[in-house]
Amino acid sequence: MNEIALKELLYKIADDQLILGHRNSEWTGMGPLLEEDIAFSSMAQDKVGQSYAIYNLLHALGEQEPDTIAFTRNANQFHNSIFTELPNSEYDFSLIRHFLYDTAEIIRFDLLTRSAYQPLADLAVKVRAELRYHTLHANTWIKQLGSATEESISRLQHSLDTALPHALGMFEESLYEQDLIHDSIFAGEKILMERWKQQVEIILSKTQLQLPDWDTLTAVNGGRKGQHSEHLQPLLDEMSEVFRIDPTAEW
Amino acid sequence: MHNSITKEEVLTWLEEVKDPEIPVLSLVDLGVITAVDIRPEGVTITMTPTFVGCPAMDMMKSDVLEVLHKHGITHAEVQVSFREPWTSDKISTRGREALKSFGLAPPPSGKNLFTDIDVLEHATCPRCNGTNTELKSPFGPTLCRSIHYCLDCREAFEQFKPV
C-alpha cells in the first residue's frame, strides 16, 4: 500500500471537513431562522469531529497530533478544495454549497466503506450514516426553495451558477490517483464525480433550477495542491487565534 | 493480578458511568462499550462514540478509568475504535426506558431510516405517547437529538436520533 498516497487522501478529506465545518460554524447565531442556526451549527460540529477522527488516523500513521495539524499549518499546506474555503456569502450560496458538497461527501464516504485501508473503511461506515442527515437537510431545502418564489429560485440559480465551477474543483485528481485505485484505497475522483453529477441532476430535476451543460464548465482547481484563494489564510488565522495564544495549554 | 475478575463484573461497575448529557443513561445501556479485555497485566475497555464528533467522549473515557481505579484496577486503558460502529439499535431495552422517563423519545429502529423519512417525521411523544407529532428540526441541542412537536399534548420534545 502506497502510504504517501494514503496520507494525501486522508489530508484532503479531513481538510475539506475542517474548513467547511468552520464556515458552517460562522452561521451560529446568524441563521435566517432558529432551526437553520441549529442545523448549520450541528453540521459544523459533525464535520469538525469527523476531521478530528481522520487527523487521528494520520497521527497513527506517524503524522503530528490532530491539534497541531489543524492549527499550525499555513494555507499552502492545506489540501482542501477552494470550494470549501469561499466565504459564506448570502444564505442561498451557503445552502447551494452545502448541497453540492454533501452530495459529493456522502458518495465519497460510501466508496471509502470498501477501502482496503481498514481503519478508514471502519470510520467511513460511521461517517456515511451521519451524513444522511446532512443530505436530508440539503435536499429538503433545495427542493423547497428551488420551486418556491421567484426570488428564492433566482437567488439559488445565481448561487448555483457561481458555485458549480468551484464544486468541480472537489474532484481535482491526486498525483497518486492511480496508486489509490490500484491499491483499492479509494475508487478515484472520476467515479466519484460521475455519481455526484447523477445525484445532483436527480435532485435539481425536482426543482425549477437549471443545470448548465457540464462540458461548458471549467473546474477551479489548485486547492488539493496547496494553491488557495485569498480567503483561506484569514479563515485559518481566525480559527487558530485562541490556540496560538498558548499552544501548550491544556483545555 | 486481575485473574479473578470477570467481564460481567466490569460491566456491572461501568453501569455507574452515565452519559454526561443524559445522566439517567449508563454507557453500558447506551451501547458504547464494545469490548472488555481482561489480562493479567491490566484491563482494556473499547468504546465507540455515538457520533464521531461527540464532545462528551473525553469525559466518558476519564469517567470509565475512574470507576476502574476505584475498584482496584491500577492498569486500565480505554481505546476508541470504529471497528464495531455505534448505531441507535445498540441502546438496550433498559436504556430506552431510561430515555423515555427522562423525557427523550427513544430512537425508532434505524433499519428503515435510509429508505423511509417517515421514521423521522412521526416520532412518538415520550410524555403522552401520542403519534400525532411533527418533526421541527432534524438537528437539536446535541448531535444525537432531533426536535419534534406533539399535536396531541401540545408540547415540544426531543428524540434520540436513529443512526
* pLDDT averaged over every residue in chain A: 97
Q: How close, in Å, is residue B143 to chain A by CA atoms? A: 6
Beta bridge mates, B22 = B19
Q: Which of A35, A48, A123 sits opposite B53 (nearest CB)?
A: A48
pLDDT value of residue A251: 75
CA angle, residues A149, A100, A140, in degrees to nearest 5? 45
DSSP B70-133: HTT--SEEEEE--SS---GGGS-HHHHHHHHHHTEEPPPPGGGTTT-THHHHSPPPTTT----E
Hey, are the CB atoms on A119 and B82 less than 8 Å from each other?
yes
**8 Å CB contact of B114 and A38:** no
Length in residues, chain A: 251
Cβ neighbours of A143 in B, within 8 Å? none
B139 and A133 in contact by Cβ < 8 A? yes
CA closest to B110 among chain A residues: A129
Chain A, window 61-90: residues with a beta carbon less than 8 angstroms from a chain B beta carbon: none
Closest-CA distance of chain B to residue A215, Å: 33
* B61 CB within 8 Å of a chain A CB: no
Q: Which of residues 207-226 of A touch B (CB under 8 A)?
A: none
- Per-residue pLDDT tens digits for A132-164: 999 999 999 999 999 999 999 999 999 999 999
Residue B3: phi and psi, rounded to 5, are -60, -30
ipTM surpassing 0.95, yes or no?
no
A23-38: pLDDT as tens digits: 999 999 999 999 999 9
Interface contact B54-A49, CB threshold 8 A: yes
Interchain proximity B139–A130, CB inside 8 Å = no
**Chain B nearest CA to A171, separation (Å):** 25
Report the gap between the CA of A49 and the closest CA in chain B (Å). Answer: 4
Domains of chain B in start order, with CATH, are 7-86 (3.30.300.130), 93-160 (no CATH)
CA distance A40 to A44: 6
Is domain A3-245 classified as CATH 3.10.20.310?
Answer: no
Over residues A76-134, the pLDDT tens digits come to 999 999 999 999 999 999 999 999 999 999 999 999 999 999 999 999 999 999 999 99
